[in-house]
Structure 1
């Protein structure tokens, strides 16, 4: 067995493992930062400000010209609704006031796309 062949067989796995280890260490620090950021609850005023901004965004989306992209706008608004609805810390502090507005935007843009209705209809019922 030649020296080059030996190096190729040993060096490649060692290099791959060391690179994987370095990437893992770098990602662990980022994960720790994100977990620390998540554990800090935002004050109610921040959530209220975010809600006002989102309400303004919904009003804009509702009155935007469609340019033939109603389905895309409806899908995008549904994805934004899922993010809004899933933010449990904010919803516990300030409630679900924007849920019907998301539903209005979605239904006005694409009334035939009924799969998201099963998510949105119970969320708007109060």
Structure 2
């Protein structure tokens, strides 16, 4: 049976409307601060409220099978939001999890977003519970091989549980799952992640307050992030726990653990 022209174009038209709403109301916070460095906090707050309403609308509107397109687009919106340090320093990162509510609902296999989720929501916005909840929801749709190297999500989750919630038992469980999923892959990188995850879980098994485990977790933050502020904080945290970061001639960091846990 042939479909009518209206039946074919209606989902596409609806999807274009979704994107039209987003494009017309794309975060104006950047424009506000660019044009006037002295914009009042109240004005920025109102603009952020409008952005929150836009995200809430996107959360509710059906995707009409354009899930990946919506996820990619909202992720680009998030990068613009997160990247404007001047505004973020003034009013914070509170909308970070709202972007990922949409992104991971549309595409829970979007691996790169999980690191951004952990960094922006747990570390910057101070909402590790939201970050972990979103990762838990996403993991229900994943397997060891889908997406490729999905074991990293268990690593991010374990890191958030240990460093920001202080939940050693939950972190240990997540790291054990990370090791199990990483062992599926034969490449050296995956095997290294499996070994490190297993060792960190063993540290926590023997000592829930393990400095070694926390140093190992901060080292993962350091290895996986190019943000200068986060790298400085990771190094600071490692050194406060008795660890040491030594850089070689190429700038590659090497981690040294303290003599005792």
Q: Deviations over 1:16-69 (max 9, x none)?
A: xxxxxxxxxxxxxxxxxxxxx557332211210110010000001101111110
- What is the CA–CA distance in structure 2 between the aligned matches of 1:60 and 1:39, rounded to whole Å? 29
Aligned residue in 2 for 1:119: 116
Structure 2: gaps (5+ residues): 1-33, 127-261
Aligned residue in 2 for 1:86: 83
Query: Is residue 59 of structure 2 the alignment partner of residue 62 of structure 1?
Result: yes
| Residue 41 (structure 1) aligned to one of 24, 27, 38 | 38
| Per-residue deviation, 1:80 | 0.6
Q: Classify the secondary structure of the residue corresponding to 1:115.
A: helix
Structure 1: gaps (5+ residues): 1-36
RMSD: 1.8
Query: Is residue 107 of structure 2 the alignment partner of residue 110 of structure 1?
Result: yes
Q: Deviations over 1:68-96 (max 9, x none)?
A: 10101111111111111112122111111
- What is the CA–CA distance in structure 2 between the aligned matches of 1:41 and 1:70, rounded to whole Å? 39
Residues 19-38 of structure 1 correspond to what in structure 2 (within 5 A)? 37=34
Select the structure with the greater relative contact order (CA < 8 A; seq sep ≥ 6). Answer: 1
TM (normalized to structure 2)?
0.33
- What is the CA–CA distance in structure 2 between the aligned matches of 1:62 and 1:55, rounded to whole Å? 10
| Per-residue deviation, 1:116 | 2.3
Contact 1:74 1:107 in 2 (8 A): yes
Pairs aligned (count): 91
Q: Classify the secondary structure of the residue corresponding to 2:52.
A: helix
Query: Max radius of gyration: which structure?
Result: 1
Q: Classify the secondary structure of the residue corresponding to 1:72.
A: helix
Q: Greater helix share, 1 or 2? A: 1
TM (normalized to structure 1)?
0.66
| Residue 97 (structure 2) aligned to one of 97, 100, 113 | 100
